[in-house]
A and B are shown apart, each in its own frame.
Chain A
Amino acid sequence: MSTEEPIQRRPSRKSVAFTEEKLVVDADGSVTMIATDNDDTKDTAMSHTPRTPPLSAALGAFTDASSAPADGAADGAAPAADLNPDGLDLSLMKKKKKKVKKDDEEGADGAAAAAGEEAIDLSMKKKKKKKAPKEEDEFAKKLEALNLEGGEGAEAPADENVQDGDMDKGTGIWAHDESRTINYDPLLSRFFALLAQKNPDHASSGTRSYKIPPPQCLREGNKKTIFANLPEICKRMKRADEHVTAYLFAELGTSGSVDGSRRLVIKGRFQQKQIENVLRTYIIEYVTCKTCRSPNTELSKGENRLYFITCNSCGSRRSVQAIKTGFSAQVGKRRKMKV
Chain B
Amino acid sequence: MSGETEIQNLKSRDPFAEADEDSGQTTQTQEYIHIRIQQRNGRKTLTTVQGIPSKFDHKKILKVIKKEFACNGTIISDTESKGMGEVIQLQGDHRLKIKDFLVNEETGLGLDEKTIKIHGF
Interface check B38, CB cutoff 8 A = yes
The DSSP consensus for interface residues of chain B is mixed
| Contact-residue bracket for chain B | 20 to 34
Tell me which residues across on chain B come within 8 A of A251, comparing CB atoms: 119-121
Contact of A319 among B26, B36, B89, B119 (CB under 8 A): B26
When A251-B121, A270-B121 are in contact, do A207 and B39 touch as well, CB less than 8 Å? no
The yes or no answer to B98 lying at the interface (CB within 8 A) is no
Does A331 contact B38, Cβ atoms closer than 8 Å? yes
| B 15-30 contacts with A by CB, 8 A | 18, 22, 25-26, 29
A-B Cβ contacts below 8 A, count: 65
In the complex, which residues of chain A have a beta carbon less than 8 angstroms from the beta carbon of B39?
252-254, 268-269, 331
A273 to B29: give the CA distance in the assembly, Å.
30
Interface presence of A228 (CB below 8 A): no
- In the complex, what's the smallest C-beta–C-beta distance from A316 to chain B, in angstroms? 12
Interface size class of A (residues with CB under 8 A): 20 to 34
A67 at the binding interface (Cβ < 8 Å): no
- Distance A196 CA – B26 CA, assembled complex (angstroms): 37
- Does A206 contact B40, Cβ atoms closer than 8 Å? no
Q: Are B38 and A328 in contact (CB under 8 A)?
A: yes
Residues in A257-291 with C-beta less than 8 Å from chain B: 268-270, 273-275, 277-278, 290
Measured CB to CB, the nearest residue on chain B to A319 is B26
A329 at the interface (CB under 8 A from B): yes
Interface residue A134 (Cβ < 8 Å from any Cβ of B): no
**A161 CB within 8 Å of chain B:** no
Question: Which 8 residue pairs across A and B have the least CB separation, nearest first?
Answer: A274-B121, A253-B38, A268-B39, A327-B84, A327-B50, A327-B87, A327-B81, A277-B121
Q: How far is the CB of A293 from chain B (nearest CB, A)?
A: 9
